[in-house]
Amino acid sequence: MPGSMRSIKIGDSRVLESRESADGITIRRRREAPDGRRFTTYERIEYPNLAVIKKDGVRELFDREKLANSTHKSVGKFFASELEVEEIINNVESALYELGENEIQSRKIGELVLDELAKKNEVAYVRFASVFYKFETLNDFVNILEQRQRKAPN
C-alpha cells in the first residue's frame, strides 16, 4: 500500500551517520532501511533504577518524564526554548546518579532543580521555590529573594 507506514527492523538498517548531542548524553543515528527509507534513532544511557522517597515515606521509581513535566509546568514559560529546560533536567538527572545512591529523598531532587534554576533564571527560581517551599505569605517571597541576593555574586 503506497504511503502506508510499515514497520522497520532497526537491526536490518544501516547507520549512515552518528552524532553525539550537545548534552553529551544522547546519540543521534541517521539510518537507512533495506528498502531505502531513512529514519532517525536516538540512544540514551540507561541508568540503574533509582528509588525516590517521598515526604510521606512512600517509595517510587525515579521518573525523568515526571520531573520534566513538573519543571515545564512550573517554569517552562520563563525560558526561550525547550532545550534550556531539557538541559536543566539533564543536569539534575546526572547529579542524582553521580550521588551513587540507590535511594534519594524527593526534597533533594527539588533542591537540585533549584540549584540549576538559580544559575539560569531568577524568576523561574523564585516561582519554583514558591511551590517547593509552599510559600503562604509575601514575606516568604521576600525571604527567598534576600537569600538569593546574599548568594549572588556582585
Who has greater pLDDT, 22 or 19?
Answer: 19
111 shares a domain with 96: yes
Domain that holds residue 22: 10-44
- pLDDT value at residue 9: 72
70-75 contacts at long range (C-beta below 8 A, 24 or more positions apart): 71/113, 71/128, 74/124, 74/127, 74/128, 74/131, 75/117, 75/121, 75/124, 75/127, 75/128
Which residues, in sequence order, are bridge partners of residue 36?
none
Q: Say what the pLDDT of residue 153 is.
A: 64
Q: 52 is written with which cell numbers?
A: 525516590
Q: Are residues 29 and 77 in the same domain?
A: no
Res. 122 pLDDT band, cuts 50 70 90: confident
Mean pLDDT of 80-101: 89
The answer to whether position 78 is within a domain reads yes
Residue whose C-alpha is closest to residue 71's, from 60, 84, 85: 85
Average pLDDT, the chain: 87
Q: Looking at residues 73-79, what average pLDDT do you find? A: 83
Distance of alpha carbon 1 from alpha carbon 14, whole angstroms:
24
Does residue 118 register a pLDDT over 80? yes
Indicate whether 85 belongs to any domain. Answer: yes
Q: Does 63 lie in the same domain as 40?
A: no
Domain count, the chain: 2
